[in-house]
Chains A and B, each alone.
Chain A
């Protein structure tokens, strides 16, 4: 299976990365990681990329790493739909003070707009 994972440097992105890597280790899926910087996180694109590469290396998992620069949600959807990915994976969902789950804008855009099946890890 050809899997596209979007990683933006937030905590839930990091969890999505970890879980996807564990899955790839079992299945041998063909993984592409698309990195972007999101407004809620201070990390630069370079920070996110080096973090992702380090995690991949630790896990001994091969993956293509690509950068997304303009509209993360839109580009993720376009990449997944146009390049024949079987699944698009993203992290998302923070908790309000009293525990309600709230989807971030990128996660929401992807869930609503992708033709490719989406896995939301929260």
Chain B
């Protein structure tokens, strides 16, 4: 699934690193930080999540399943960043290692804060954070019909991989391999 030749040869970037603050397209002050002990804020964010914004079964529905899933993506070998608007977590993006030394990425932005440029900044900051931690290759899957998401991923440097499955697979290289 993630043989080396299926990643772009070219290294993308540069990317911002956390903490990264910016004003979104709606004039809101947003800051992206490395997630620490913010689990309760994320549970609150995902409980507010619109079912139509779920992707391939995540985030799961219901507090218990959300917590179980967060336990998984907060394991020691994973990276998590959160976009904050004041006291509220409004976006969350994560990198989870696969078994080939690359990382799978996912990003979620609360409906009330979508289409304001937060996704681009959140995604870029996670990749900057990942690069700092020695990650070089990242991939993700996205539903074929989800054009806004595909456009967002392409904007930061993801390329579509050849795949025949339901979902589209995209990949990016953020550092030269050591």
Binding site for B on A (CB under 8 A): 95-103, 105, 108
Contacts and interface: CB of A to CB of B under 8 A. Distances in A.
Contact of A97 (B55, B60, B98): B98
Contacts of B104: 96-98, 100
B99 to A, nearest CB: 8
B55 A100 contact: yes
A98 B72 contact: yes
Interface in B18-74: 55-58, 60, 69, 72-73
Nearest to B94: A98
A97 B58 contact: no
A94 to B, nearest CB: 11
B12 interface: no
B128 interface: no
A102 B97 contact: no
B58 A98 contact: yes
B69 A99 contact: yes
11 contacts: A96-B104, A97-B104, A98-B72, A98-B94, A98-B105, A99-B58, A100-B56, A100-B57, A101-B57, A102-B167, A105-B165
Contacts of B56: 96, 100-102
Smallest CB-CB A-B distances: 4 pairs: A100-B56, A98-B96, A101-B57, A97-B96
Nearest to A96: B104
A103 B166 contact: yes
B64 to A, nearest CB: 14
A99 B166 contact: no
Contact of A98 (B60, B99, B106, B166): B106
A99 B72 CA distance: 8
Nearest to A111: B166
Contacts of A99: 57-58, 60, 69, 72-73
Contacts of A102: 56, 141, 165-167
B76 interface: no
Contacts of A100: 55-58, 104, 106, 141, 167
Interface in B126-165: 141, 164-165
Determine which residue in B57, B97, B106 has the highest number of CB atoms from chain A within 10 A of its CB, and name it: B57
A108 B165 contact: yes
Contacts of B165: 102-103, 105, 108
B49 to A, nearest CB: 15
B87 to A, nearest CB: 26
Nearest to A93: B57
A103 B143 CA distance: 12
Nearest to B56: A100
Contacts of A97: 96-99, 104
Contacts of B167: 100, 102
A121 to B, nearest CB: 14
A72 to B, nearest CB: 16
